[in-house]
Amino acid sequence: MRILADARSLLPIGPGLGPTGVGRWTAGVIGGLSHHAPTWEIVLTIVTREPVTIDPSKFGPNVTVNNVRFPERGFRRALVLGLAPRIDRFAGPSDVMLGPGFVTWPGRYARIPVIHDLAWLTHPESVQPRNLAYLRLMIPRVVRSAAGIVTVSDSVRDEIAERFEFDPARIFVVPNGCAPQPPPLPPEQREQLLFVGTFEPRKNLERVLEAYRLVRAERPDVPELVVVGGPGWRGAEELQQDAAGTPGVRTLGYIDDEHLGTLYRQARMLVFPSLYEGFGLPIIEAMAAGTPVITSNRGAQAEVSGGAALLVDPLSSRDIADGITRLLDDTNLVQNLREQGGRVAAEFTWDRAGLALKNAIESSVGKP
C-alpha cells in the first residue's frame, strides 16, 4: 500500500510560529500509522515552490518526503477551477491520497479527506474570507469523490453525515492523541489560570476575559490568568488589547509544545469554553498534566472531556465565572477532576490514533 499524504500542515504557519492543530494531528497519526503499517510506503507530499525541510525519519522508517515544486496559491486556484494537475504524476503512482487539510487532490487513487470540523459552515465568521470561499467550494466536491472520510470526533462525524447525506459507515473517527507527560504537580504548586486558543471569535476569549473580571471583582486575590495563543484574523487586535488591558491577565502569544506543557503543569485550571471545536486538543493535554478543565457543555468538548471536566454554558460569562470560582474553592471537586481527567487523557494516544487511521484506510479501500 502506498499512501500519498498532504503534509503542508506540518510547516510553520509563520516566522517564530509552529504548525497548526491540523499539523499536530498529521504528525502524530503519521507516526502511529508508520508503526502499525510498517510495510506501507507513506509519502509526505508538499506542493510549494519553496524547498521544504522536514525530517521523515522522526515519523518512521517507511516515511519519505516529496516536495512538488508548484506555486501553492496557483495550485489552490487550479483546484477551485478544476484545472489542477494530477499529483500522482509528480509523486508517483499511489493507492490512497490522504488529505489532512480537509481537501484531496486530483489523481488516480482512492481519496480520503480529513474533515476536522465544520466551522466554515457553523461559524463562518471565524474563518478568513479567502479560506471560507475555498472550503465552501471544495469540500462538497471532496465529499462526493471520497472513498471514505476521516474526522476527529463522533460529534463532527454526525455533523458530516447529516449535512452531506454521507453514509455514516464510511466516516471514521481518528481522534487526536497526547504525548506522555511528566508526573503532575500537586495543587499547592500551581499558580495561575490558563487559557489556550487562537485570538479569534470562536475560541470565546472575550467571554473568558469578562468572566475573569467578574471573579476578580468578587475576590481580588484570584490568581492571574495566562493567555496563550497566536494571532487569528477577525478582531485579533481588539482581543489582544482587551486581554492586555485587563488587570491580572498576562498574554504570552504563541509558545512551543515544550513550554506549553510546562504551563499546563503549573496551571490550577484550564479555562476552555470554546464556542465550537472539532475536538479540543487542549482539553486532553491539560488532563494529561493533571489540570482540571472548564469547557463547553456542548459538541465535541463535552464528548472529548468524557465526564471529567466542569461543563459550562459558553454563551454565559456568569456561568464561566461561577465555574472558575468552584474550582478555586472546591478541593474535592478539583481532586476528582484530576483523577478522572488522567484516566480520560490516557485513552488518547497517537499510537491508537495511527491504528485507527490504518483501519479507516483499509475499510475505505480494502486491505493491501
- Band (pLDDT 50/70/90 cuts) for residue 350 is very high
pLDDT surpassing 70 at residue 77 = yes
Q: Does the predicted TM-score (pTM) go above 0.95? A: no
Give the count of beta carbons closer than 10 Å to the beta carbon of residue 219: 11
* Average pLDDT of the residues of the chain: 92
Residue ranges of the chain assigned to CATH 3.40.50.2000: 2-177+350-365, 187-346
CA 178 to chain centre: 11
CATH class given for the domain over 2-177+350-365: alpha beta
DSSP 191-219: -EEEEE--BSGGGTHHHHHHHHHHHHHH-
The predicted structure's pLDDT at residue 207: 96
> Whole-angstrom Cα distance, residue 54 to residue 36?
21
pLDDT surpassing 80 at residue 130 = yes
Strands 192-196 and 225-228: parallel
Count of residues making up the chain? 368
What digits encode the pLDDT tens for the residues 85-114?
888 888 889 999 999 999 999 999 999 999
Residue ranges of alpha helices (H) inside 13-153 are 21-36, 72-81, 88-91, 119-122, 129-144
Residues 6+ apart with CB under 8 A from 150: 98, 112, 113, 114, 115, 171, 172, 173, 174, 357, 360
**Collapsed DSSP state (helix, strand, coil) of residue 329:** helix
Q: Which fold has domain 187-346?
A: Rossmann fold (3.40.50)
Give the count of beta carbons closer than 10 Å to the beta carbon of residue 220: 9
Tell me 14's DSSP state. S
The predicted structure's pLDDT at residue 146: 97
- Band (pLDDT 50/70/90 cuts) for residue 233 is low
Find where cell 503519521 sits.
30
What digits encode the pLDDT tens for the residues 235-289?
677 888 888 889 999 999 888 888 999 999 999 999 999 999 999 999 999 999 9
CA dist list (Å): 145 to 244, 283, 335 = 47, 33, 48
Find where cell 472575550 sits.
206
What digits encode the pLDDT tens for the residues 215-231?
999 999 999 999 998 87
